[in-house]
């Protein structure tokens, strides 16, 4: 509003309405940000690990044993985020429900889901009569609930899970196998799909030296080299390194017949000497017409291509950049997200890496033909904590920003070591450097779409409507936009704004002119890049009334 002071002169009503709307929309976010920063962790986040001896101490035949069950939950990873524990003991199926609050931790949603899945498996192992395990989640991605049954947890394991609770050694052996996970994509596959030569499978395990032998009860297996597009000869069995991708196709080796019933794919984990460590089996169902579907199981991830397209970063600076960009969703969306960061120091302890940084987020989009920062932050002192796994990959564990207002200085003292506190108190002086990093990333983005344009993180000068009745202007930009999504996308200034919608670029334009009989005319227009008009509104300003023509 400071930048558009001229526009708000004499427009007290619209200024008041806009202020109240902003407070209603963003007040919760601002309060949440303050609350999450009010007590920054003075210690490292708890490492993700399972202590077999400690867990074994809390084993119990009955889900109704409250102290044992709560003791188990509090001995598992994420105990510090644990809320209420509810037990369903009235009648079968017996269940355990645990509430978790991850607000302020900003953990990777995939990591949370994976760890809680393992937690469920441990609960099924150490509580004899529990039938269902549920987790209610707050503050982590879009995942609000995870629910598992004993049958799902048992999965393809031949030995009953409860057998692993005989002694500490057996329990430790079971937990050693939890990191062996099988991924599948897509959930539904048909031979007519041309984007992939088959249903994709890949195994994940903590030891990168391990190998996996895949075998199919029906159909065949093959490999596909993405850079060259070369597809291997099909086979009934293939042995691959961990993390390598294998494809299952319902066709036989001659390519003439296809599987017309359910089939089972087996992934056998082998150590460096070729000895069997563990095994996973996944059932693929045929619907009788076209599609083959992976049957859900607790030890099988059925997810999108994200985990196969982009590896977890192995460089700390890259990991910090990705973490900063992930916070960009809190701001007005742009065409591309950029970030800038300065690493002041870092330290490592027990597989955890903590980086002390000055960071800035910038979402860029086109305004009046300039690729500009339409939303984002200034220079914010930020502490980012990662889990560094055995493959040297960084996984986001915690993202901390200081409190706003009076608590700012005190929260900085808790977040940063004494040697850096004076430095971060003057972080705004770093914004020029951070802005250059963001502009460089925005420039690189323009190259990917083959477009040349001015790139600037600074505010783009905007010309507002001239000599329009205040009440008429308020109706157009404060009232009508509440009920007309198209008007809401158009600029509040004379000029253009661009949006990419479902892969197509559109230009929203607001212009001012005169009607044939001398009245002011305000036109809102949406066009494609070739100038084709998609949608348009033309308002004739008659006194205090915008009249739609």
As a whole number of angstroms, the distance between CA 138 and CA 136 comes to: 7
Q: What pLDDT is stored for residue 44 in this prediction?
A: 60
Cβ contacts of 112 within 8 Å, gap of 6 or more = 78, 102, 137, 140, 141, 143
- Token digits of residue 205: 């395990």
Q: Where is average pLDDT lowest: 95-104, 252-261, 496-505, 535-544?
A: 252-261
Cis peptide leading into 186, omega within 30 of 0? yes
Checking if the pLDDT of 21 tops 50, the result is: no
172, with CB counted inside 10 A (0-12, 13-18, 19+), is middle
Q: What pLDDT is stored for residue 29 in this prediction?
A: 36
Q: What pLDDT is stored for residue 404 in this prediction?
A: 84
Cβ contacts of 490 within 8 Å, gap of 6 or more = 497, 508, 509, 510, 524, 525, 526
Q: Which of 200, 51, 37 is nearest to 103 (CA)?
A: 37
Q: Which of 466, 456, 461 is nearest to 512 (CA)?
A: 466
77-117 pLDDT, tens per residue? 999 889 999 999 999 999 999 999 988 666 777 778 888 98
346-393 pLDDT, tens per residue? 999 877 899 999 999 999 999 999 999 999 999 999 999 988 876 788
Q: Where is average pLDDT lowest: 159-163, 174-178, 342-346?
A: 174-178
25-76 pLDDT, tens per residue? 444 333 333 333 333 344 566 667 789 999 999 999 999 999 999 999 999 9
Q: What pLDDT is stored for residue 5 in this prediction?
A: 43
Return the CATH class of domain 181-309.
mainly beta
Cβ contacts of 469 within 8 Å, gap of 6 or more = 541, 543, 544
Task: Over range 243-263, report the average pLDDT.
Answer: 87
Alpha-helix runs per DSSP H in 299-340: 306-309, 316-326
Checking if the pLDDT of 162 tops 90, the result is: yes
Cis peptide leading into 93, omega within 30 of 0? yes
Which residues are 336's β-sheet partners?
A: 364
Which residues are 354's β-sheet partners?
A: 347, 385
**Average pLDDT of the residues of the chain:** 85
As a whole number of angstroms, the distance between CA 484 and CA 287 comes to: 44
Backbone conformation region of residue 185, classed left if phi is above 0, alpha if psi is from -120 to 50, else beta = beta
Q: What pLDDT is stored for residue 32 in this prediction?
A: 32
Instruction: Fill in the DSSP letter of residue 518.
Output: S
Laid out side by side, the sheet with 276-286 consists of 188-189, 292-294, 276-286, 263-270, 211-216, 237-241
**Residue 136, SS3?**
strand
Q: What pLDDT is stored for residue 531 in this prediction?
A: 92
Task: Over range 1-12, report the average pLDDT.
Answer: 43
Cβ contacts of 217 within 8 Å, gap of 6 or more = 263, 264, 265, 266
Checking if the pLDDT of 338 tops 90, the result is: yes
Helix (H) or strand (E) holding 327: none
CA angle 172/387/210 to nearest 5° reads 50
Q: Which of 16, 2, 11 is nearest to 473 (CA)?
A: 11
Checking if the pLDDT of 7 tops 60, the result is: no
Q: Are strands 533-542 and 145-149 parallel, antiparallel or unpaired?
A: unpaired
Percentage of residues in the chain having pLDDT higher than 90: 54
Q: What pLDDT is stored for residue 313 in this prediction?
A: 84
- Token digits of residue 93: 């199926």
Cβ contacts of 422 within 8 Å, gap of 6 or more = none
Could you tell me how many residues make up the chain? 549
- Token digits of residue 444: 């690189």
For residue 420, report the phi and psi dihedrals to the nearest 5 degrees: -105, -10
As a whole number of angstroms, the distance between CA 47 and CA 297 comes to: 26
Mind giving me the DSSP string for 332-365? ---SEEEEEEEEEEEEEETTEEEEEEEEEEEEEE
Q: What pLDDT is stored for residue 42 in this prediction?
A: 46
Q: What pLDDT is stored for residue 75 in this prediction?
A: 94
Rounded (to 5) percent helix, strand, coil in the chain? 30, 35, 35
Mind giving me the DSSP string for 30-47? HHHHHHHTSS--SSPPPP
The reply to whether the predicted model has a pTM over 0.75 is no
Cβ contacts of 48 within 8 Å, gap of 6 or more = 77, 111, 115, 387
Q: Where is average pLDDT lowest: 63-77, 201-215, 297-311, 532-546?
A: 297-311
Q: What pLDDT is stored for residue 47 in this prediction?
A: 66
Crossing angle between the packed helical segments 109-126 and 66-73, to the nearest 10 degrees: 150
Checking if the pLDDT of 157 tops 80, the result is: no
450-478 pLDDT, tens per residue? 999 999 998 888 999 999 899 999 999 98
Q: What pLDDT is stored for residue 23 in this prediction?
A: 47
Task: Over range 401-410, report the average pLDDT.
Answer: 87
Q: Which of 324, 329, 336, 331 is nearest to 365 (CA)?
A: 336
Q: What pLDDT is stored for residue 252 in this prediction?
A: 86
121-154 pLDDT, tens per residue? 999 999 999 999 999 998 876 668 889 999 888 8
Q: Which of 346, 369, 338, 377 is nearest to 491 (CA)?
A: 369
As a whole number of angstroms, the distance between CA 257 and CA 228 comes to: 27
Q: What pLDDT is stored for residue 45 in this prediction?
A: 62
Checking if the pLDDT of 266 tops 80, the result is: yes
277-318 pLDDT, tens per residue? 888 889 999 998 889 999 877 778 776 434 433 457 889 999
């Amino acid at each position: 509003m400071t930048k558009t002071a001229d526009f708000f002169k004499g427009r007290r009503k619209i200024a008041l309405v806009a202020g109240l709307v902003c407070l209603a929309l963003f007040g919760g976010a601002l309060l949440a940000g303050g609350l999450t920063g009010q007590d920054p962790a003075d210690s490292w986040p708890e490492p993700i690990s399972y202590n077999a001896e400690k867990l074994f101490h809390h084993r119990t035949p009955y889900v109704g044993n409250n102290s044992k069950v709560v003791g188990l939950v509090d001995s598992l990873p994420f105990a510090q985020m644990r809320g209420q524990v509810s037990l369903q003991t009235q009648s079968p199926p017996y269940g355990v429900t645990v509430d978790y609050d991850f607000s302020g931790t900003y953990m990777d949603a995939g990591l949370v889901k994976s760890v809680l899945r393992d937690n469920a498996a441990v609960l099924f192992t150490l509580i004899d009569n529990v039938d269902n395990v549920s987790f209610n989640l707050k503050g982590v991605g879009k995942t609000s609930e995870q629910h598992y049954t004993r049958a799902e947890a048992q999965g393809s394991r031949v030995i009953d899970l409860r057998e692993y609770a005989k002694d500490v050694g057996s329990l430790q052996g079971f937990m050693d196998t939890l990191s062996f996970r099988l991924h599948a994509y897509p959930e539904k596959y048909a031979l007519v799909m041309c984007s992939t030569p088959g249903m994709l499978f890949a195994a994940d395990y903590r030891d990168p030296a391990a190998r996996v032998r895949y075998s199919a009860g029906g159909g065949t297996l093959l490999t596909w080299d993405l850079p060259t597009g070369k597809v291997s000869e099909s086979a009934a069995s293939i042995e691959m390194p961990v993390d390598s991708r294998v494809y299952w196709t319902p066709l036989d080796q001659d390519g003439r017949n296809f599987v017309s019933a359910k089939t089972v794919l087996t992934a056998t984990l082998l150590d460096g000497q070729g000895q069997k460590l563990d095994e996973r089996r996944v059932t693929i169902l045929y619907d009788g017409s076209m599609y083959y579907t992976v049957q859900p199981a607790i030890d099988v991830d059925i997810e999108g291509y994200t985990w196969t397209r982009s590896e977890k970063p192995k460089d700390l600076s890259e990991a910090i950049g990705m973490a900063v960009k992930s916070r960009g969703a809190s701001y007005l969306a742009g065409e591309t997200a950029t970030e800038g960061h300065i690493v002041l120091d870092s330290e490592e302890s027990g597989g955890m890496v903590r980086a002390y940084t000055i960071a800035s987020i910038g979402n860029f989009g086109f305004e009046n033909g300039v690729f500009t920062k339409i939303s984002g932050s200034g220079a914010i002192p930020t502490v980012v904590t990662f889990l560094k796994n055995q493959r040297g990959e960084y996984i986001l564990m915690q993202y901390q920003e200081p409190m706003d207002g009076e608590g700012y200085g005190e929260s900085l003292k808790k977040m940063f070591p004494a040697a850096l506190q004076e430095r971060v108190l003057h972080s705004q002086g770093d914004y020029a450097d951070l802005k250059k990093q963001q502009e460089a990333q925005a420039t690189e983005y323009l190259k990917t779409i083959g477009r040349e344009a001015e790139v600037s993180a600074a505010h783009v000068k905007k010309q507002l409507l001239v000599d329009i009745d205040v009440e008429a202007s308020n109706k157009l930009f404060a009232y009508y936009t509440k009920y007309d999504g198209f008007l809401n996308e158009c600029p509040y200034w004379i000029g253009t704004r661009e949006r990419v919608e479902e892969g197509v670029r559109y230009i929203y334009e607001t212009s001012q002119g005169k009607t044939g009989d001398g009245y002011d005319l305000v036109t809102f227009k949406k066009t494609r890049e070739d100038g084709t008009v998609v949608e348009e509104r033309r308002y004739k300003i008659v006194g205090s009334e915008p009249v739609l023509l």
